[in-house]
């Protein structure tokens, strides 16, 4: 593969800061690395948490985030390698499908449209997002207990290497429509 550019795409409840160690690793090996923020996610996490609930976040759509990322990729000198986590993993799949990347890696990707599981761990982790009674435009902040169960459940206790909710900005309360609707115009992020 010729590409020497890697674009890291974060998921919900994250910012580009979640890729810092990955970026250092690949830059040391000669790659140009970018980790663009989603619209409205370009502020320090403390500011994002302080501004909760953010009305702009309440209006952010899946399509808007995808278009924002596509514009960034189209401005690059070469088709990059994409790496995405969670909702970012779903986005890298869609960006690759649009031929905007040389390759893509999806880490623990959100499922694409039409793929849904009833596994208890998925339902428990995602209930605030898939609950049909929850207000769609209501951003939520995650408690440490929910963060520990949803994001770092393999770690038994909080440690210095474990991110905390203080490092995670609020996110949209529902992604169900973005994952299950036919045109992805619904708000999700």
86: left (phi over 0), alpha (psi -120 to 50) or beta: left
Domain that holds residue 42: 5-180
Give the Cβ contact number of residue 46 at 10 Å. 11
Is there a domain that residue 43 lies in?
A: yes
Is there a domain that residue 31 lies in?
A: yes
Is there a domain that residue 187 lies in?
A: no
Is there a domain that residue 188 lies in?
A: no
Give the CATH number of the domain where residue 138 resides.
3.40.50
User: Using an 8 Å Cβ cutoff, are 184 and 113 in contact?
Assistant: yes
Is there a domain that residue 135 lies in?
A: yes
Please state whether the peptide bond connecting residue 18 to the residue before it is cis, i.e. omega within 30 degrees of 0: no
Instruction: Say how many domains are in the chain.
Output: 1
Is there a domain that residue 137 lies in?
A: yes
Query: Nearest 5°: phi and psi at 107?
Result: -100, 120
Please list the pLDDT of the chain residue by residue as tens digits (189 residues): 788 999 999 998 889 999 999 999 999 999 999 999 999 888 888 888 888 888 778 788 889 999 999 999 999 999 999 999 999 999 999 999 999 999 999 998 988 878 878 888 888 888 887 788 887 777 878 777 888 788 777 765 555 454 555 566 777 544 444 554 444 444 444
Is there a domain that residue 186 lies in?
A: no
Q: CA-CA distance, 170 to 49, in Å (whole number)?
A: 6
Is there a domain that residue 146 lies in?
A: yes
């Amino acid at each position: 593969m010729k590409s020497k550019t890697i674009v890291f795409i974060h998921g919900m409840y994250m910012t580009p800061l979640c890729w810092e160690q990955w970026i250092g690793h690949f830059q040391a090996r000669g790659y140009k690395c970018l980790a663009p923020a989603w619209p409205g996610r370009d502020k320090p996490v403390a500011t994002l948490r302080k501004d909760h609930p953010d009305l702009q976040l309440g209006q952010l759509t899946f399509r808007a985030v995808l278009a924002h990322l596509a514009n960034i990729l189209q401005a690059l000198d070469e088709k990059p390698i994409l790496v995405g986590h969670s909702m970012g993993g779903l986005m890298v799949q869609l960006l690759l499908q649009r031929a905007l990347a040389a390759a893509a890696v999806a880490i623990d990707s959100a499922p694409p449209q039409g793929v849904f599981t009833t596994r208890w761990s998925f339902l428990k982790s995602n209930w605030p997002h898939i609950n049909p009674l929850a207000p769609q435009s209501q951003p939520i902040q995650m408690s440490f207990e929910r963060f520990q169960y949803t994001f770092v459940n393999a770690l038994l206790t909080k440690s210095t290497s474990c991110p905390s909710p203080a490092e995670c900005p609020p996110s949209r309360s529902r992604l169900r429509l973005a994952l299950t609707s036919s045109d992805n115009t619904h708000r999700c992020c």
